[in-house]
């Protein structure tokens, strides 16, 4: 799958590398939900800066990712929504709660309470 997954402390960073098919988006959601428990994560950061289209399905999948990981005990933050993509998403009149966003990875890590610590446990 074209998603790079990195571990940073008790956060997991999923950096989407290219446009995903619907099936890949759902697989990512399921994979992240599973990893939250396996790695005892506090947070999942999904970097979508490589996506040049986020349609209503992907938007709702991101929201569903946030809800799923929250139910599993971790926060999800989406980072890097491109300006044009944000404008397109605004047309959908979509309720994205409880999706949290940040401008980039650095800000996301700050928002998550700077619980960045090297634990050498990355995969």
Q: Which residues bind other proteins (CB under 8 A)?
A: 19, 21-23, 52-57, 60, 82-85, 87-88, 91-94
Q: Which is nearer to other proteins, 86 or 110 (CB)?
A: 86
CA 30, CA 26: separation in Å to the nearest integer?
A: 6
Q: Which is nearer to other proteins, 50 or 88 (CB)?
A: 88
Q: Which is nearer to other proteins, 24 or 42 (CB)?
A: 24
- DSSP letters spanning 40-95: T-SEEEEE-TT-S---HHHHHHHHHHHHHHHHTT-EEEEE---HHHHHHHHTT---
Q: Rounded to the nearest whole angstrom, what is the least distance from the CB of residue 92 to other proteins in the complex?
A: 5
Q: Rounded to the nearest whole angstrom, what is the least distance from the CB of residue 86 to other proteins in the complex?
A: 10
């Amino acid at each position: 799958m074209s998603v790079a997954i990195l571990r940073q402390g008790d956060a997991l960073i999923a950096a989407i590398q290219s446009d995903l098919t619907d099936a890949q988006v759902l697989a990512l959601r399921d994979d992240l939900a599973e990893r939250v428990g396996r790695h005892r994560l506090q947070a999942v950061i999904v970097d979508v800066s490589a996506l040049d289209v986020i349609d209503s399905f992907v938007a709702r999948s991101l929201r569903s990712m946030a809800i799923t990981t929250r139910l599993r005990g971790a926060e999800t933050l989406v980072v890097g929504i491109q300006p044009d993509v944000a404008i397109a998403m605004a047309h959908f009149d979509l309720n994205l709660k409880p999706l949290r966003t940040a401008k980039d990875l650095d800000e996301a890590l700050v928002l998550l309470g700077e619980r960045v610590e090297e634990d050498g446990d990355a995969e």
